[in-house]
Structure 1
Amino acid sequence: MWGGGGREHTLVWKLKKSPRVDKIYCAPGNGGIARDAECIPIAAEDIKGLADFAEKERIDLTVAGPEVPLVAGIGDLFASRGLKLFGPQAKAALLEGSKLFAKDVMVKYGVPTAAYKVFQDSDKALSFVRELGGPCVVKADGLAAGKGVIIAKDTAEAEDAVRLIMEKRSFGEAGSSLLVEELLEGEEVSVLAFTDGKTIIPLAASQDHKRAYDCDQGPNTGGMGAYSPPPVYTEDLHAQVLRDVLEPVINGLAADGIQYKGVIYAGLMLTKKGPYVLEFNCRFGDPETQVVIPRLKTDLFEVMEAVVDERLDDVQLEWDPRAAVCVVMASGGYPGSYAKGKVITGLDELPPNVLDFHAGTALTGEQLVTDGGRVLGVTGFGTTIAEAVQSVYAGVEKIHFEGMHYRRDIAHRALKKGLKICDPA
């Protein structure tokens, strides 16, 4: 596996439980992953180095972590060498690599999504948002580590977003083109699905929290927490998403000669008109993985192997009926600048129904220290979401590092008035 975040730690932790897995390597890993896998000093973006390692060590299956190598073509490179990889090849990974490509696919195959316009010129984009004169969403076309989407409440914020993306190039070449979309209203839900290009099996749904601060305030982040299952996501919605979103995209790509194999992530807005797609990702979500995968009772290795071997129709997923809630503990200042090297304590005091998944940690001698913006994903369980919330925050209270920041309202939409921090009324 490549990567070194909370998503990768969760996948490593789950794969280690398979009786068919003897050894796991992770490149480059982190301080927590090191307890479950052998970390190797290969950068996640070094696709040749990863392929060379897999070939040399005769790795039976490599699992995708972050999206950059997928968009860069690591799937194609592995296939050319006869190496097995769980993850889509480059043409399919463009669903995440280019928002414009994803929009074109959705429009072509009738998948509900927000109305939009595309711009390569900042002056024209600025003129358009002024014409709109109200709320909108401004998106960098390319990869921006989950931070290239800006929800603008008014024209001034939309103008700032255009300048940030196209003139200041805060997201690099990802901002050479941008999309301006209508702002959809409703609740957001994340739906992951396994697919071998023919069969599609959705996983349990989840809802994440992108804003940095309580009550969904502050800048967007890579994700400050998540919970599963979201009560708003009913069985009827589940069937509708499979029929109107996942099947048209996977089957449409196949009709265009693009086989999508791996996991697909659909970020949805549940509007009054039904579910609309906000984005697609070509890999597991973060921190959604930290609540969905721990609820999966089925052997993850066997599922991934079935995807790669194109026999997913033989698989049935089993789920832990308990709810799961993940709280991300971040460095002070995140998603802006932050310090590293702060000593982390309290992980040995976590309650038995609480797990810690490491995102930005490192080992300095015997000491575990912070090494990133998002440091830990702490996941708790309960028979209800309210119980899971109590469990996870009981765990969070045991942990300490200097400057730590976390949201205290994760799952507040599910609890409605059960949390006094954010009263939706």
Structure 2
Amino acid sequence: MNILLLGSGGRESAFAWKISQSPLLSQLFIAPGNAGTGAYGKNVNIKPTDFAAVKDFVLKNSVNLVLVGPEEPLVKGIHDYFLADSALKDIPVIGPQESGAMLEGSKNFSKAFMRRHFIPTAASASFTLNSLSEGLSYLETHKFPVVLKADGLAAGKGVLICQTLEEAQTELIAMLQDAKFGEASNMVVIEEFLTGIELSVFVLTDGHSYKILPEAKDYKRIGEGDTGLNTGGMGSISPVPFADAAFMKKVEDQIVKPTISGLKLDQIPYKGFIFIGLMNTDGEPYVIEYNVRMGDPETESVMPRIESDFVELLLGVANENLHEKELVVSPKTAATVMLVASGYPGEYMKGKAITGLDNIRDSQVFQAGTVLEDGLVKTAGGRVLAITSLQDTMFDAVQQAVTDAGRVYYDGRYFRTDIGFDLL
């Protein structure tokens, strides 16, 4: 079968690597892909949000299934676009329709969904410019720190943790009145600050049944010891030691099952991934946020641990018989180290030649922000490469991934050497 994968990051590299191993695959296309994805299929110069160009390509190349990597095409309704088109409606899209994508597209929507279905989450209230004065008064009654979240998609930048009342009120005004995050902060969710350890849980569902994929923990801060600015993710570990059978049973019973049944009760069709960002607070799981796609860099740690045919699982979603498919997970640990560009997560350098990729010994390289120019792989994004090692122990996996990360070079290269240290 022919598969079209939409996206260009490390997540899509990991997907492409995994899909390319399936005996069911005839041809894999990646739109637009990066300098590394061409090793697993054919890169196609199409923007994932250019639905007309996607349609044209799908029909001309007899594509049998579309896997959507990033959230933006889903929130903008690519699945609905396919269903509404007589030529496309029978081609399955892995990723929710617009109504389901609202779980990520609107923080206010997802909080209301959780309250409605009794899913444990932080207490919150939402405000717009019209209710700014109420929001400022509400903050006066709140304990600190407090979390301010832009309601819409803000490219991972719309969440602020404020330590004082003055800071929180200043930021609320900046978000609602001064459009600090553009349209994304037309509404702001003010949320209680939860303490604990974060965890990412991934669910694949056909709308009826589900599979819980390997969990992972990612590392957001740019600096060693979890210091400095937040990023899109500097690395990840899977499995997570504290997510034992007892904890994961709580996650399944209190969060996964009510989420799937809640979508059904609300008549929201959902075929695809649900990324549940959790906080483990004294052994109890609370939902921080939903995403409607796989995480990045967590996918780079999760995919190497899945031993089953990934295309079979995707077909289970498409054909609504996921319950008949087998999910086999390796007991080994995967550690992912992200190499980033100088200046990231602020303004970063681009166009630097990457050398040493052939020196990697016992890890998998998932390219992210890269481009092929004049036969050279060059940096093109803030997060450049993900190096993943799968080993018997976490210590060995982290050590190998860090060692192999050191074998790659480009001007301004930076990576953290302490991914997973808090779990060791």
Match of 2:77 among 73, 78, 84: 73
Q: Distance in 1 between matches of 2:249 and 2:96?
A: 24
Q: Distance in 2 between matches of 1:164 and 1:386?
A: 44
Matched, 1:363 2:362: no
> Could you list the per-position Cα deviations for residues 52-100 of structure 1 after superposition, in whole angstroms to 9, with x for gaps in the alignment?
2112212011101100110111011112322211111110111111111
Match of 1:183 among 188, 193, 199: 193
Unaligned 5+ runs, structure 1: 416-425
Offset of 1:132 from its aligned partner?
2.5
Cα separation, partners in 2 of 1:316 and 1:347, compared to 1, 3 Å = same
1:57 paired residue number: 61
Identity %: 40
Cα separation, partners in 2 of 1:215 and 1:130, compared to 1, 3 Å = farther
> Which secondary structure does the structure 2 equivalent of 1:100 belong to?
helix
Offset of 1:243 from its aligned partner?
1.2
Q: Which amino acid aligns with 2:377?
A: L
TM-score, structure 1 as length reference: 0.94
Cα separation, partners in 2 of 1:151 and 1:238, compared to 1, 3 Å = same
Q: Distance in 1 between matches of 2:167 and 2:237?
A: 30
Match of 1:9 among 4, 7, 13: 13
Q: Distance in 2 between matches of 1:360 and 1:298?
A: 28
5 Å matches for 1:237-316?
237-272=247-282, 274-316=284-326
5 Å matches for 1:15-414?
15-80=19-84, 81-82=88-89, 83-121=91-129, 122-132=132-142, 134-272=144-282, 274-351=284-361, 353-414=362-423
- Aligned-residue CA RMSD (Å): 1.4
> Which secondary structure does the structure 1 equivalent of 2:27 belong to?
coil
Cα separation, partners in 2 of 1:324 and 1:273, compared to 1, 3 Å = closer
> Which secondary structure does the structure 2 equivalent of 1:236 belong to?
helix
Q: Distance in 2 between matches of 1:316 and 1:157?
A: 50
Q: Distance in 2 between matches of 1:218 and 1:189?
A: 20
CA contact (8 A) 1:210 1:220 kept: yes
Q: Distance in 2 between matches of 1:367 and 1:123?
A: 55
1:418 paired residue number: none
Cα separation, partners in 2 of 1:125 and 1:273, compared to 1, 3 Å = farther
> Could you list the per-position Cα deviations for residues 248-294 of structure 1 after superposition, in whole angstroms to 9, with x for gaps in the alignment?
11111111211211111100001126100000011111111000011
Offset of 1:157 from its aligned partner?
4.1
TM-score, structure 2 as length reference: 0.94
How many residues align? The count is 414
> Which secondary structure does the structure 2 equivalent of 1:41 belong to?
coil
CA contact (8 A) 1:200 1:247 kept: no
Q: Distance in 2 between matches of 1:277 and 1:356?
A: 31
Q: Hey, which bits of structure 1, 4+ residues long, moved more than 6 A?
A: none
CA contact (8 A) 2:365 2:387 kept: yes
CA contact (8 A) 1:4 1:28 kept: yes
Q: Distance in 2 between matches of 1:176 and 1:408?
A: 39
CA contact (8 A) 2:276 2:289 kept: yes
> Could you list the per-position Cα deviations for residues 102-160 of structure 1 after superposition, in whole angstroms to 9, with x for gaps in the alignment?
11110001000000111112454344334425201111101112221122233344345
Offset of 1:34 from its aligned partner?
1.8
Cα separation, partners in 2 of 1:160 and 1:324, compared to 1, 3 Å = farther
CA contact (8 A) 1:51 1:77 kept: no
Cα separation, partners in 2 of 1:2 and 1:405, compared to 1, 3 Å = same
